[in-house]
Each structure stands twice: as C-alpha cells, then as structure tokens.
Amino acid sequence: MKLTMPKDVKNLCEQCAALCCRYFAFEIDKPRTKRDFDDLRWYLLHEDCIIFVEDGDWYVQINRPCKALRSDNRCGIYETRPAICRAYSTKGCDYHGDEYDYEQLFVEAEQIAEYAKQYLSKQRKRKAARRKTATTTVRKTSRARKTTGKVTNAPRLLKSA
C-alpha cells in the first residue's frame, strides 16, 4: 500500500498518535514442548503482553509506551534516539498501514493453553506414527542383517586441547 501525504504535512509522523512507540515486539523460538508453552502462558498472564505468529515466526509483544515519548506524541530524545528508532520507516507505519493479519494471535493464557493441547496432541500422534513405521522397517531388515553394535565407518573424534 502506497502512503500518500497531504500537501500541508511534511512527514507522516505529524498526523500520528505514535503507535510505533507504544509497544515493542521481539522474535522468540517456536514452542515445541509442554514447558515451552507453559512459559508462553506465563508471559500472557502479565498485563499488556500478547503473542503472535507472523510468516511462521513467533513473537512476544509488550504493549507499553516508550519512556521518551512526550505527551504531544513526539520523541523526547529524537537527536539521540536508538538505532532501531532511526531505522524505522513509515513504509510499515502502524497508523497509516493496513491492519495486521496474524496467523495466530494469543492475548489470553487460556488461548495458548488450548493451542498447546491441540499442537502437542498432533505431535504425539505424528511421533507414534513415525515410530510405528520405523519399527516395521527395522523388523523387516533386522532379520536379514546382523549388527555388532559398533560403528565402523565413523570419523575419529579429536580431543580438544
């Protein structure tokens, strides 16, 4: 979406409520275990925290304004603002851009708990199916081949100094 600026406005930030300065988000590892999901549930038990998935990547978002944001929605430390602020472009502006379209959005601890229950159940079923397939394959081949349990072609490991 191309942003168009009214002629009397020098930059888009002049019209904005500083939405980009009212939260921060950071990428986290995709949860894979019950403990991982329990940690995410703990995050969501805190105020002003959400978790979302975008393009397959997981994020925690904390909805708290920057301490340098002034009451007029301007930066109080503009000349010495952090590099991440300097690099931010109005190209992805929260105020003038489109609504976010998350793959998943969790705002309550119960939501992530339910998602975890379904996800972990699917994982257990997949693992059981793989194990069943692997067991069937091993049984077919193990009768034809005897093994000593030793690895013969493994590379030699060197001791570190």
Coil, helix or strand at residue 26: strand
In a domain, 95, yes or no: yes
Alpha helices, DSSP H only, in 21-75?
34-44
Number of domains within the chain: 1
Q: What is the pLDDT of residue 122?
A: 94
Q: Which domain holds residue 72?
A: 13-116
pLDDT (mean) for 134-151 = 58
In a domain, 17, yes or no: yes
In a domain, 65, yes or no: yes
Amino acid residing at 156: R
Q: How far apart are the first and last CA of the chain?
A: 57
Q: Judge whether residue 137 has pLDDT over 90.
A: no
49-54/24-28 β-pairing = unpaired
Q: Judge whether residue 26 has pLDDT over 80.
A: yes
Name the one residue in this structure whose structure tokens are 């994982």. Answer: 123
Q: Judge whether residue 1 has pLDDT over 50.
A: no
Which residues are paired to 59 by β-bridges? 27, 52
In a domain, 43, yes or no: yes
Q: What is the pLDDT of residue 3?
A: 47
In a domain, 6, yes or no: no
Q: Are 105 and 52 in contact (CB under 8 A)?
A: yes
Q: What is the pLDDT of residue 160?
A: 56
Mean pLDDT of all residues belonging to the chain: 83
Q: What is the pLDDT of residue 59?
A: 98
In a domain, 99, yes or no: yes
In a domain, 128, yes or no: no
Angle in degrees, CA 23, 26, 27, rounded to 5? 150
Confidence of residue 60 (pLDDT cuts 50, 70, 90): very high
Q: Mind listing the pLDDT tens digit for each residue in 69-116? A: 999 999 999 999 999 999 988 777 777 666 778 999 999 999 999 999
Amino acid residing at 97: G
In a domain, 159, yes or no: no
What Cα–Cα distance (Å) separates residue 142 from each residue in 41, 130, 149?
Answer: 45, 18, 12
